[in-house]
Amino acid sequence: MGDEISQEKAVAIARGEIDFEAEHHQIRLFKKGLDSHPYWGVSLYNGDRSHPTECQVVQVDAESGFVASVDNC
C-alpha cells in the first residue's frame, strides 16, 4: 500500500529537489487519482511553520520514489 518508500527516504528525495537548505519538514501520505495512487507530500521550510521564510512542497511517489512535482508554498 505505498510503503515501498519510507518517510525518511521520501524526505531525503525531497531535500535533493529543493533549492535551499531546509531547517524543518512535515510529511503526509495521501492518495491521488482514480486509482488512489499513494504519494508522500513533503513540505520543507525555514522559519515559523505558519509564516515560513522559504517553503517548497515535493510530491514523491510512495511506490517508486519518482518526484511528481515541486511547488512553492
- Residue 68: CATH number of its domain: 3.10.450
Q: Which domain holds residue 31?
A: 7-72
Q: Give the pLDDT mean for 16-41.
A: 95
CA distance 45 to 25: 6
Give the residue, 28 or 3, on which the prediction is more confident.
28
Q: Which three cell numbers stand for residue 71?
A: 511547488
- The reply to whether 62 falls in a domain is yes
What pLDDT digit, counting tens, does each position of 31-70 carry? 998 889 999 999 999 999 889 999 999 999 999 999 999 9
Residue 17 predicted with pLDDT over 90: yes
- The reply to whether 13 falls in a domain is yes
Q: Give the pLDDT mean for 16-43.
A: 95
- Domain count along the chain: 1
CA distance 64 to 73: 24
CA distance 61 to 5: 8
The whole-number pLDDT of residue 28 equals 97
- Return the HEC string of 3-69: CCCCHHHHHHHHHCCCCCCCCEEEEEEEEECCCCEEEEEEEEEEEECCEEEEEEEEEEECCCCCEEE
